[in-house]
Amino acid sequence: MMGMTMKRKCLQIFTYIIISIGAILMLLPFVWMISTSLKEPLTVYEIPIRWIPEVFKVENYKRLFTDYNFGLYIFNSIKICILNILGNVISCSLVAYGFSFCKHRYKNKIFVLLLATMMLPGVVTFFPQFILFNYMGWYGTTLPLWVPAFTGSAFYIFLLRQFFLTIPSELIDAAKMDGCSDIKILFNIVLPMSKPALMVIVIYNFMAVWNDFFGPLIYIIKEEQRTVAVALNYLKSTYEGTSSIPITMAASVLLIIPSLLIYFFGQSYVSRGIVFKGVEK
Amino acid sequence: MLKIKVFLKKNKFFVFIAPWLLGFLAFTLIPMVSSLVISFTEWNILTPPNYVGFANYQSVFNDPLFYKSLRVTLVYTLVSVPIHVCLSILIALLLNSEIKCINLYRTIYYLPAVVSGVVVSLLWSWIFNSEFGLLNNLLLKFGIEGPRWLSDEKWIMPAMIVMSVWGIGGSIIMYLSGLQGIPKYLYESAKLDGASWWTRLIKITIPSMSPVILFTTLTGVIGGLQTFTQAYVMTNGGPNNESLFYAFYVYKHAFVWKQMGKACALAWVLFIVIFILTIIILKISKSKVYYESREGGDIL
């Protein structure tokens, strides 16, 4: 019996060592990014690596706002995020309600179609979408970046529907008996019960839109409409090579802070496994 | 007025799904059909398109860079996805043990997954810097002289794969929740029967997680074949086109060289490649994926 606990202990220590090494490897790039972002341009070329800069050059961050207009870019990104989240929450709720509580002959067939679009690679639809938006005169505006959200997104609809189906149908039937309209049922009964699923959508959508690079890269031409992700890339290319490293790293840190905050704030929702109950199937 | 009300009530289902239906038509179906049409034309967006028959497809299949970009993209996907799956399962198994601070560890492993692709690309091009970068300086500590990761055509693909491993947190979390869904009694009875750790892994853990494995493999392959940001931000397709990812090559045709027709043809070829790979994966998995029957768990 003694050997058993010893073996257990050893195994535990071994596990600790392995996951600690892994964790350090995962964290090092972050530390390196933050450390570089606080350095003088020339001190990044010091060997051996100096992890803690001699002088903390917080000015790199200040310059993003004073010299490079990042305040505006952050505002642009947030605006597009909010419009996307709003659009997706409203339309996905409606559509998921239709798929969960309305009856129709072709409901299942149409739902399979919806699932199939989830597997559709973006590459195929992206270029013709661009042509469509260009034709509509939306090229060079931010409209292509948020209007589609108001038609919902297959993945979020799927998640919400899986969640809606866990709501007892007796509840819905009782409300119908009392003469509640469908819209009332959706807003007064179904949605309040689905807060965790809605939170997951808000978090996922925020991260997807905030981090999106390809969309803004293609559609935005005016400097004053840029989002943070695109602005970061321009910042790098405005002065390729030389002294740009600390300031691009500072902008990188700035870009990931909101995602991290949202993640910490919403962690409990995401890790509760709501997503995977549905996805597994 | 009343008529409209009756109509709406009768077709309630369609009223509710109208937003998605509209989006499906406007942003998926019509663009797909039109891209198929455009792929048979020569078009620079500014002047009206000319019908050219199969010329674009001919030009695609006669283009050595097409084969190169397809090879680069396939190698990247088919090497990185299995690595991601194996590593994620391994780490998820370790993170599933009952030890102190486990939540902190889980968070740390997940963190890189929330970082934007642009930041990942910029950060790693600095990490990969052959003289002043983090990686080669660390390797030097172990007496290894690191290669010129981003400018050596032999090392660019390993560099891309190493970089992609940093972001596996998302699938680790999926495997973790998969692991937590496995009933404990299965392990207990297996232990009573004297099954070793390895047997339990192969006979219980892996089969129970097969739906998650299928899901992460599929999304990994579909995502990997559409890799774009790394090529755009880090390498511009180089050196010697060894990181000419397919999506980047399509992008260049569409937006740099203004050849919409060929871009659409290229996109359709990729679509067919993705489709075939998806079918293969689903075929292989059909006999191997184990679905636990649970209440209301079916899609339909």
Per-residue pLDDT tens over the stretch A82-113: 999 999 999 999 999 999 988 888 899 999 99
Number of domains chain A contains: 2
A 217-276 residues with CB below 8 A of B?
217-218, 229-230, 232-233, 236, 245, 248-249, 252, 255-256, 259-260, 262-263, 267, 270-271, 273, 276
Does A72 share its domain with A189?
yes
**Residue A155 contacts B, CB cutoff 8 Å:** no
Express each pLDDT in B201-229 by its tens digit.
888 899 888 888 998 999 999 999 999 99
Between A122 and A32, where is the model more confident? A32
Full residue range of the structural domain in which residue A18 is found: 2-59
Per-chain mean pLDDT for chain A: 87
Q: Residue A217 pLDDT > 70, yes or no?
A: yes
Residues B232, B223: contact at Cβ < 8 Å? no
Give the ipTM: 0.88
Of residues A109, A180, A170, the one with CA closest to residue B13: A109
A264 min Cα distance to partner chain B (Å):
9
pLDDT of residue B168: 94
A95 contacts B32? CB cut-off 8 A: no
Distance separating alpha carbons of residues A80 and A56, to the nearest angstrom: 33
Domain stop point among A59, A89, A108: A59
Q: Residue B169 pLDDT > 50, yes or no?
A: yes
* Integer angstrom CA distances of residue B61 from B66, B98, B235, B261, B269: 7, 55, 25, 14, 10
Percentage of residues of chain A with pLDDT beyond 70 = 93
Distance separating alpha carbons of residues A174 and B139, to the nearest angstrom: 67
Express each pLDDT in B32-60 by its tens digit.
898 899 999 999 888 888 999 999 999 99
| A98, A128, A248 member nearest B31 (Cβ) | A128
- Provide the token pair at A99: 């798929």
Residues A139, B285: contact at Cβ < 8 Å? no
Does A48 share its domain with A96?
no
A 168-187 residues with CB below 8 A of B?
182
Q: Residue B298 pLDDT > 50, yes or no?
A: no
Express each pLDDT in B235-274 by its tens digit.
998 899 999 999 999 999 999 999 999 999 999 999 999 9
Does A125 share its domain with A41?
no
Residues B235, B243: contact at Cβ < 8 Å? yes
Q: How long a stretch of residues is chain A?
A: 281
A 30-89 residues with CB below 8 A of B?
30, 32-33, 36, 44-45, 47-49
pLDDT of residue A242: 55
Reduce the DSSP state of residue B42 to 3 states and report it.
strand
Distance separating alpha carbons of residues B43 and B59, to the nearest angstrom: 14
| B166, B264, B298 member nearest A128 (Cβ) | B264
Residues B164, B84: contact at Cβ < 8 Å? yes
CATH superfamily of B64-288: MetI-like (1.10.3720.10)
Q: Residue A239 pLDDT > 80, yes or no?
A: no
Does A47 share its domain with A87?
no
- β-bridge mates for residue B51, sequence order: B41
Does A30 share its domain with A76?
no
B132 contacts A132? CB cut-off 8 A: no
Q: What ranges do the domains of chain B cover?
A: 64-288
Does A156 share its domain with A217?
yes
Does A6 share its domain with A112?
no
What band does A280 get if pLDDT is binned at 50, 70 and 90?
very low
Express each pLDDT in B79-105 by its tens digit.
999 999 999 999 999 998 888 888 899
B106 min Cα distance to partner chain A (Å):
9
Does A102 share its domain with A7?
no
Residues A235, A31: contact at Cβ < 8 Å? no
A48 cis-preceded (ω within 30 degrees of 0):
yes
Distance separating alpha carbons of residues B282 and A2, to the nearest angstrom: 48
Per-chain mean pLDDT for chain B: 89
Does A157 share its domain with A40?
no
- Provide the token pair at A171: 């509840």
pLDDT of residue A103: 87
Does A54 share its domain with A128?
no
Does A132 share its domain with A161?
yes
Comparing A259-263, A264-268, B287-291, the range with the smallest average pLDDT is B287-291
Does A252 share its domain with A231?
yes
Listing DSSP states for A52-91 in one string gives: S-SS--THHHHHHHHTT-HHHHHHHHHHHHHHHHHHHHHH
Which phi and psi (to 5°) does residue B51 adopt? -70, 125
Chain B residue with the nearest C-alpha to that of A267? B107
Radius of gyration of chain A (CA): 24
pTM, to two decimals: 0.89
| A99, A121, A280 member nearest B212 (Cβ) | A280
Q: Which helix (H) or strand (E) holds B198?
A: helix B197-200
Residues A161, A100: contact at Cβ < 8 Å? yes
Q: Provide the CATH number for the domain around residue A194.
A: 1.10.3720.10
